[in-house]
Structure 1
């Protein structure tokens, strides 16, 4: 079959699907020259095991001049070094031919700050847990031998506990010490301030008591406090590890190379950031534009669904502007850059994403509000206990012990675990139901939303056309013989309706019109109304026309069908009191049709990414808390700026990164997600209420001087366990909006 046969039906004013095999990216602009050696950093997608590493490295090392090829399976980063005349293209070709995705990677990309933080917390948690277990063994011996154990033996056991606690506190406690110091330098306080004070003072007092032969030491309580708090920090970091990545993902898209044409027509691969307005650009078939450009020569079908939401493509001709993110589907196009990469639509969306992440970072979580009340309460209680016992005639050392006991027994273990444990349990329940929650505080924001904005294509509808008309099986079968030579979405829908079969002979492509071929000796055409000679007043972008010889042309009408569970889901959300509307970049007639079928009265068509953001901000200004649901690049800015956002699993990577949750299995996952979010928020409030009640009981015990090390240890453990058990109830709660 010829290349033309495999390309497309170019005739209709509709989208051609990207070719099944597209050219590999040209990473030449990312090659670095170091000490006479060429080096290239690549990102590999799809590598899962040791066999993948061996296969990829072996394929690259067989190329002439390659000296090293090392793949990091954890980060997906491949580092290649070579000498000689080898270019970068054979390297990416060798990898892509094995079935792996490959793209250039900026130097320095790799493990993210979030991953480093999570790893650091996990190591600190392990150290604190190891130290806690060993110190508790020694402490149990002291408690068991109370009254019978000699002073020298007790001092020795306390001394061993101190030797274990000192390095553990220095290492595991640096997370809290660093945070406390940073806020104290600026005249503020956070939850880490009382934690740091409790740990440091308890350790110092314990050292003093050990040296003077005292009965009580708080080494176990100090390290145990760190252990429980690090559990909460680690759980929280794990839940939000993938947050704040959307802008970086979009930046990676903008870091692609561009083919720039010189004055004499020579083509050179350069970074997108090097393109300036007026530069000539070549956009090859299957390639995505990464800068805004105006077409000068060529005729091709382009897919703009990523940037406009339009579900069908259009024909790109001379003088037409193409926005960054547009995919060229059929023929080469040349044009002039009309803006630098930093001023393109992609950069504009990246700025929206960054603004959204900054806005979300200022969201004041329940835990933060609880801390603002907890910190002064604990400090004041400990200080008053110390001063009160001094005034009552107690020695400074004994009064200090009571003050430290107050700090320790009122430790924020339960407070620190209240939110993270709830988030992890809720995330686990949602994950088992097919929804992946990306950030912990998203549960709180989801629970507070009262208005929902839906994108249309791919969110409420399948996003792929289906044949709507009933036509003669013979006519359908003949039309499919031409359609099988095309990757056009309407042709694919036609083939799906007709089923498997043969392909017409002598199929030829006519750019901008359609396909022509011979069926049983008769010349047939499939494409636009103009191409087949149909007499119609208004051409439809959702139809194909077919003609056999001089017969009357036959029209095939296609529709983008609504998702099977969309109607029931929308009805359930409306009954629950949610306001909603459709905000789509698609054509008005299709948006009106979908809105009517779903019973949604408010809708907007032909909305650009900026239009979506402005509408969302208007709703927020009116007092609404908006939940955004979308799946395209044109939705990414609104997804990031919404109070909360959700996207389907088939969405673009950038949209999934910008959202708070990703669901699979259709819109039916939305009501359970909102229900679990509301339940999780209620459980968090219960946990904070319990933490407050615990402190109301614990403070009198500590202030009265009855908080022995054993009492402190039992109280801390019991409060943390009860908070965790309450969070586990989320697994059995019924899902009710």
Structure 2
């Protein structure tokens, strides 16, 4: 009896009569694989979308509902030479980590073998021009074989497996000529050793593998991105909710059992699982993960709340408007998934190059062998020349041209306070001519600060700070930090949604809402002068004071905006914050293009509009609501204080309070792109000169490997220039 395969659990409704499934695919290693998979799956009738995400090794598929069994896609991928299975985040992360460790082990084995074989080759090289007897030379050759053959068998697995998968399905990729060159060099060396020849090429083959594995490991390392997206979203999504099943009867049910119109109970400290409207109760909610706004929002009858928001103080009854996949949080996830499907022109260029390279190399080597045979050479000599051509045309320099510059540049950018999440972000960042900033938490510091501290007497400030330590409210925390208070006042009591009070020297102290402290008029006067601030009042008996609290701009924000404009980069602010706050920030920074109250979809629409005009847009944001826009932009950047999802989505993350890393990243990327292009020309120029020499027959496989290694070293030395930029400019 044959078991049936039911993958319906993994199929999602994509709308418009379409079904969607994500598949994890093993063995996807280059742009050529992407093209082959997409073409192979798109050829299936009724498939409307087949898109490969090379970073995640994932295939997104959409097809007409009911037209296909998802198992057919897995079978088709097997025919193409790839093993696939329904995508599960934990499995994908584990597979990626294991692949990285495996490459590192292969590199270690190859490098160790290379050092030992080269040490054995030195006496042979010198002995061939001196007095070494054949028996001694044979001994060193057999010893080299004993080291090189098992080392190559293990270290060459990444190339051999990939090449075999391609050949088995009637295709070729870049690993095919590599594998043929290594196997032929080793086989030829074994034959030469058995026949007591002067030359063997074990050192050439194992050296070739070492350099190729360096490139492959660097490429793998640069491609690995933060894979916490699904985990972070799962942490935000509450899996259960407390539902009213009667007037005063509640029960805990899965979110999937919640329907629009139901009423749920939201207690203090709980994260909301649904979108809805408050119908009873008063509280404050933290929506920073949704809106990016760090200040808590007052929630009362009629206030809209969203899944992912955190209830802080009071108990709320919420009438559900959307649950499960209908929430704003789920919509942000869908926008993010759609935006991540975009691919850069560099991927398309690599796609074309990978399809062209393998057949050209094979044809060149084959024509070389046939040409020499027709010219009267023996098959032995013709094959040796063909092997030399395969080795000398090995894409090692081409493979190292980009990742070495990326690695050196990423190290330099790290020293400048920038971390890379994406391997090709440097290339895309160099093209940027338009930067969109979110305001809250990006242009401003993530923590609130007291902006009128100089106008408050020190003794009052200290007392208010001690009282503030008794509260968990972020505005109170800002007062406590600014006062540098060390211990809270004894007996302090916090009143939900109002503030905190305590007795001190026979008087009642209060800190909180202006109405709670009897300082409404004083607060109105203060906010009239600074409409962007929030007012927290303090009363000591009849004495009233107001602390104006807001997020301050990053200390170098104005200088950074000016530096970007000098580099001919246009600057724009898109924020979900209130219009007065955004207007004040834009005016202070000298930015004329700004919009307030924008939604995640609005940000994506603006980015797409700029793309249509030919702009290369960088999005800089920090909130969960910025994640789709970060993914949709040509390149993206987030501060280290950003929501975890935004950090995972962004191509780059910058550290610390200054905004200067944004400019440094652009400068380093422009320098790096210049060096990448130079390296590619060096690699192409090397092949232009070396291939005719190899075809002429004056180059042995050993010399070919040395020449190949020399070109790789030259490429790496040039990449070291990415460590610095002149005067902070590219």
The TM tier, using the shorter chain, reads 0.7 to 0.9
Cα distance in structure 2, aligned partners of 1:407 and 1:467: 68
- TM-score for both structures, normalised by structure 2: 0.77
Counterpart of 2:83? Answer: none
Counterpart of 1:487? Answer: 472
Equivalent residues in 2 for 1:407-446, closer than 5 Å: 407-446=390-429
Q: 1:123: how far off?
A: 0.8
1:457/1:548 CA distance change after superposition, 3 Å:
closer
Equivalent residues in 2 for 1:271-290, closer than 5 Å: 277=260, 281-290=264-273
1:478/1:167 CA distance change after superposition, 3 Å:
closer
Task: Note if 1:626 corresponds to 2:617.
Answer: yes
Counterpart of 1:723? Answer: 715
1:621/1:377 CA distance change after superposition, 3 Å:
same
Q: 1:682: how far off?
A: 1.1
Counterpart of 1:122? Answer: 104
Counterpart of 1:736? Answer: 729
Cα distance in structure 2, aligned partners of 1:107 and 1:451: 34
Cα distance in structure 2, aligned partners of 1:164 and 1:481: 72
Cα distance in structure 2, aligned partners of 1:366 and 1:326: 43
Give the secondary-structure state (helix, strand or coil) at the position aligned to 1:561. strand
Counterpart of 1:231? Answer: 214
Residue 678 of structure 2 is aligned with which of 686, 695, 708?
A: 686
Cα distance in structure 2, aligned partners of 1:224 and 1:505: 72
Give the secondary-structure state (helix, strand or coil) at the position aligned to 2:444. coil
C-alpha contact 1:423 1:680 (8 A) present in aligned 2: yes
Equivalent residues in 2 for 1:670-709, closer than 5 Å: 670-709=662-701
Q: 1:580: how far off?
A: 1.3
1:684/1:692 CA distance change after superposition, 3 Å:
same
Counterpart of 1:90? Answer: none
Counterpart of 2:58? Answer: none
Cα distance in structure 1, aligned partners of 2:224 and 2:675: 23
C-alpha contact 2:492 2:503 (8 A) present in aligned 1: yes
1:387/1:528 CA distance change after superposition, 3 Å:
same
Counterpart of 1:136? Answer: 118
Counterpart of 2:703? Answer: 711
Cα distance in structure 2, aligned partners of 1:438 and 1:634: 19
Q: Map Cα deviations across residues 301-321 of structure 1 (whole Å, 9 max, x no partner).
A: 012122112343221123433
Task: Note if 1:199 corresponds to 2:182.
Answer: yes
Q: 1:411: how far off?
A: 1.7
Cα RMSD for the two superposed structures: 3.5
Residue 548 of structure 2 is aligned with which of 557, 565, 572?
A: 557
Q: 1:589: how far off?
A: 0.3
Cα distance in structure 2, aligned partners of 1:143 and 1:495: 75
Q: 1:215: how far off?
A: 4.0
**Which ranges in structure 1 are unaligned for 5 or more consecutive residues?**
1-105
C-alpha contact 1:523 1:549 (8 A) present in aligned 2: yes
Give the secondary-structure state (helix, strand or coil) at the position aligned to 2:430. helix
Cα distance in structure 1, aligned partners of 2:124 and 2:339: 55
C-alpha contact 2:446 2:641 (8 A) present in aligned 1: no
Cα distance in structure 1, aligned partners of 2:539 and 2:116: 87
C-alpha contact 1:247 1:350 (8 A) present in aligned 2: no
Q: 1:711: how far off?
A: 1.5
Equivalent residues in 2 for 1:338-349, closer than 5 Å: 338-349=321-332
Task: Note if 1:351 corresponds to 2:334.
Answer: yes
C-alpha contact 1:179 1:192 (8 A) present in aligned 2: yes
Cα distance in structure 1, aligned partners of 2:466 and 2:368: 89
Cα distance in structure 1, aligned partners of 2:136 and 2:482: 87
C-alpha contact 2:619 2:630 (8 A) present in aligned 1: yes
Cα distance in structure 2, aligned partners of 1:430 and 1:564: 20
Q: 1:300: how far off?
A: 0.5
Task: Note if 1:306 corresponds to 2:310.
Answer: no
Residue 661 of structure 1 is aligned with which of 652, 666, 670?
A: 652
Cα distance in structure 1, aligned partners of 2:671 and 2:144: 43
Cα distance in structure 1, aligned partners of 2:461 and 2:112: 72
Q: 1:702: how far off?
A: 1.1
Cα distance in structure 2, aligned partners of 1:305 and 1:530: 25
Q: 1:676: how far off?
A: 0.9
1:403/1:279 CA distance change after superposition, 3 Å:
farther
1:428/1:468 CA distance change after superposition, 3 Å:
closer
Number of positions where the alignment pairs a residue of Structure 1 with one of Structure 2: 631
Cα distance in structure 2, aligned partners of 1:550 and 1:731: 61
Give the secondary-structure state (helix, strand or coil) at the position aligned to 1:684. helix
- TM-score for both structures, normalised by structure 1: 0.77
Q: 1:129: how far off?
A: 2.0
Q: Map Cα deviations across residues 278-314 of structure 1 (whole Å, 9 max, x no partner).
A: 6654433233324434434431001212211234322
Q: Map Cα deviations across residues 107-141 of structure 1 (whole Å, 9 max, x no partner).
A: 95696332111101011112222332333344444
Task: Note if 1:585 corresponds to 2:576.
Answer: yes
C-alpha contact 1:306 1:634 (8 A) present in aligned 2: yes
1:358/1:185 CA distance change after superposition, 3 Å:
farther
Q: Map Cα deviations across residues 443-466 of structure 1 (whole Å, 9 max, x no partner).
A: 111111111011111111123333
Give the secondary-structure state (helix, strand or coil) at the position aligned to 1:457. helix
Cα distance in structure 2, aligned partners of 1:166 and 1:292: 63
Choose 158-167 or 417-426, whichever is displaced more: 158-167
Q: 1:271: how far off?
A: 6.3
Equivalent residues in 2 for 1:4-403, closer than 5 Å: 112-146=94-128, 157-184=140-167, 189-243=172-226, 245-254=227-236, 256-261=238-243, 263=245, 277=260, 281-360=264-343, 363-364=346-347, 371=354, 374-403=357-386
Cα distance in structure 2, aligned partners of 1:408 and 1:154: 24
Cα distance in structure 1, aligned partners of 2:695 and 2:462: 88
Q: 1:181: how far off?
A: 3.8
Cα distance in structure 1, aligned partners of 2:117 and 2:133: 19
Give the secondary-structure state (helix, strand or coil) at the position aligned to 1:607. coil
Residue 566 of structure 2 is aligned with which of 575, 582, 585?
A: 575
Residue 462 of structure 1 is aligned with which of 437, 440, 445?
A: 445
Cα distance in structure 2, aligned partners of 1:477 and 1:216: 84
Q: Map Cα deviations across residues 78-118 of structure 1 (whole Å, 9 max, x no partner).
A: xxxxxxxxxxxxxxxxxxxxxxxxxxxx9956963321111
1:550/1:141 CA distance change after superposition, 3 Å:
closer
**Which ranges in structure 2 are unaligned for 5 or more consecutive residues?**
1-87
C-alpha contact 2:266 2:316 (8 A) present in aligned 1: yes
C-alpha contact 1:486 1:492 (8 A) present in aligned 2: yes
C-alpha contact 1:254 1:341 (8 A) present in aligned 2: no
Choose 468-477 or 533-542, whichever is displaced more: 533-542
1:170/1:291 CA distance change after superposition, 3 Å:
farther
Q: 1:568: how far off?
A: 0.6
Q: Map Cα deviations across residues 335-374 of structure 1 (whole Å, 9 max, x no partner).
A: 3543333332222222333334332478527766665664
Counterpart of 2:607? Answer: 616
Larger relative contact order, structure 1 or 2 (CA cutoff 8 Å, min sep 6):
1
Task: Note if 1:450 corresponds to 2:442.
Answer: no
